[in-house]
Chains A and B, each alone.
Chain A
Amino acid sequence: MLTLYRQESFKLLKKKSTMWITIFLAAVTLGVALMGRLKPALFPAKQFFQSNFLSAPFLVLFMIAAVASTITMETQYGTIKSVLSQRYSRTQVLISKWLVMLTYSIYLYVMTSVLALIAKAIFVNSKFSLTDKGDVHEIWQDWLVTLGSNFLTVWLLLSLVFLMATLFKSSAAAISIGIIGYFALSIINGFLVVLIHLYEWVKWNPLNFLNYPAQLNNPSLSQITKLSTTQLFWGNIGYIALFLVFDWLLFRKRNV
């Protein structure tokens, strides 16, 4: 299992995109913080800090692509034959891919968060203090809550991307569904609100659980989602588990 984890990490590190994504996210974090200093009206530092100076949305898109590619490239290049004809079971192969992507997402979140703190200290330290009052708690607390809850909802999307990549064996399909899922909430949220109002069971659909970070920063949103923050938390965990279990059920029967 450790060998598989090492192999998956090796492949990820050998991709040029892995390095460029780190550079790009670092540049966005530092660049937006700098703009917060130069053009404070257009780039409100205090607000943008919550999303690590806007690197968080890009991070989600890159993670969707990375997750889709970790599954589909094996089929595309035919390397799945080398991977599966080792001593390891399909279950072990899949879990190693999940774990490497989990590690990668944690790395990107930690890297952008540390850089956001550094950028804040360098460029916009005078604009706000981490101990200032935020939406709910102090800014640093809101920031950590937002990052943690975003991480959870991103994994709700990533688990779906894993499933789609295994199902369709196509990066395009998996990435499309991940990105659509990511933007769907903002596009159809209004419609979703009406649907939930009309039929309360609609509140259990996975898109509603993507509201978790927003509801943590604005507890009154529970009147719209019709779910408590605890329910949103466990719902995210439940859907992640469900999508990953379906992914496993498909992958363990995969014929090459």
Chain B
Amino acid sequence: MAEAVLTVKNLNKSFGRKQVLHKISFSCQSGRIVGLVGANGAGKTTIMKAVLSLTSSTGEVTIDGQKSTFDHHPVLDEVGALIEYPSIYPFMTGRDHLKLFAIGRNKASEIDDVITALNMGNYIDTKARSYSLGMKQKLGVAMAFLNNPKFVILDEPMNGLDPQATKELRDLIIAKRDEGVGFLISSHILSELQKLAEDLIIIDHGKIVQETTMDALLKSNNHFVTVTTTDDVKAKQVLADAGYKLVGDEEVKIQTSSDDDVANILKTLNDNQLPVTDVQHEDEDLEGSVLKLLDPEDQEQGEKSC
């Protein structure tokens, strides 16, 4: 098991009388990417802000073995972050931003490295007021990666990035992960998060509803097989009579529960003189799992209506 670079215990946060975080506890390991998932207002950004001492909270935050509090947090030297939207001074160039926050020796080479990694050379020396949303986002990400942090917090890092930039960022995150950097990433683009995150924390209304790994969550998902036969109406009838769970009205889509199901389905159809002309597999993705977790009632109702 890798070393915990971040440990959060019993984090509570209230705005006035409204409690927005309820006893949040989790940890992030070095060299692992943790996805923080939840609906708008679930408390993702508040958790990140509390870890970064941007907002006061009760509970315990330990980073790289050192306690970090609202008033005293020297260990944040080891943390890079992009929260909500990039923090940009419009009167400064991108390089000025990196110079401003660079610390330690070899500043110039570190700045050049991050500029190269994110392919920002074309505009890094122009004033940030002229940057597009994507350029600003890249600069915010670059600032998060500055000073070789041991742990990086990224809040919606793919916002405004084009496909090329998204891939560059994904590659950079994976490269840094491989070097041992720990990540806590929130994103509404769940397909992207699915490509990155190894561990998942799913929160709803300020509470952790599930803490799992991406593999375990996806394994527990529903799997479907869609078949096309010479007589789909009869095929549906035959499969229903055989006890298979059919999903959807138009196509012959069957929910499967084991690897053997597909062979048995094909055998059943074949036995009933229904030649299969096409077979397609479909696995529920992270988005489906999250939606199911965050609103199980809606999901159940949806299945009933099918």
Is A256 an interface residue when CB atoms closer than 8 A count as contact?
Answer: yes
Segment touching B, from A7-15, A102-110, A186-194, A242-250: A7-15
Q: Quote the shortest CB–CB distance from B289 to chain A (angstroms).
A: 31
Please give the distance in Å from B143's CB to the nearest CB on chain A.
7
Contact in complex: B75, A256 (CB < 8 Å) = no
- B148: CB under 8 A from chain A? no
User: A87 contacts B77, CB within 8 Å?
Assistant: yes
Given A86-B76, A87-B76, A256-B49, A14–B56 Cβ distance below 8 Å? Answer: no
A-contact 0/1 string along B48-66, CB 8 Å cutoff: 0100111110000000000
Looking at the complex, which of B96-104, B114-122, B211-219 is the stretch in contact with chain A? Answer: B96-104
Residues A11 and B74 in contact, CB atoms below 8 Å apart: no
Residue-wise, chain A 33-73 has the 8 Å CB interface mask toward B (1 for contact) of 00000000000000000000000000000000000000001
Counting CB contacts under 8 A, is A252 at the interface? Answer: yes
A77 to B73, CA, bound (A): 23
Which residues of A in the span 1-37 have a Cβ within 8 Å of any Cβ on B? 3, 7, 10-11, 14-16
- What distance in Å separates the Cβ of A8 from its nearest Cβ neighbour in chain B? 10
- CB neighbours (8 Å) of A73 from chain B are 89
Interface centre among A3, A16, A84, A85, by most chain B C-beta atoms within 10 angstroms, is A85
Contact in complex: A14, B92 (CB < 8 Å): yes
Contacts of A252 in B (CB 8 A): 71
For the residues of A in contact with B, the DSSP-based class is helix
Given contacts A10-B99, A85-B79, A87-B73, contact A79 B56 (CB under 8 A): no
Kindly identify which residue among B53, B72, B91, B101 contacts A82, using a CB–CB cutoff of 8 Å. B101
Docked-complex contact A253 and B56, CB < 8 angstroms: yes
Contacting A3 at CB < 8 Å: which of B55, B72, B99, B103? B103
Asked whether B111 is an interface residue with its Cβ less than 8 Å from the other chain, the reply is: no
Interface centre among B72, B73, B79, B84 (most CB of A within 10 A): B73
Besides the contacts A15-B91, A77-B87, A82-B87, what 17 more A-B pairs have beta carbons closer than 8 Å?
Answer: A3-B103, A7-B100, A77-B88, A78-B86, A81-B84, A82-B101, A84-B54, A85-B81, A86-B76, A86-B77, A87-B74, A87-B76, A87-B77, A89-B71, A252-B71, A255-B56, A256-B49
Interface residues of A (CB under 8 A from B): 3, 7, 10-11, 14-16, 73, 77-82, 84-87, 89-90, 252-253, 255-256
- Give 21 A-B contacts (CB < 8 Å), ordered by A residue: A10-B100, A11-B89, A14-B92, A14-B96, A77-B88, A80-B87, A81-B83, A82-B101, A82-B143, A84-B52, A84-B53, A85-B52, A85-B54, A85-B81, A85-B83, A86-B77, A87-B77, A89-B71, A253-B56, A255-B54, A255-B55
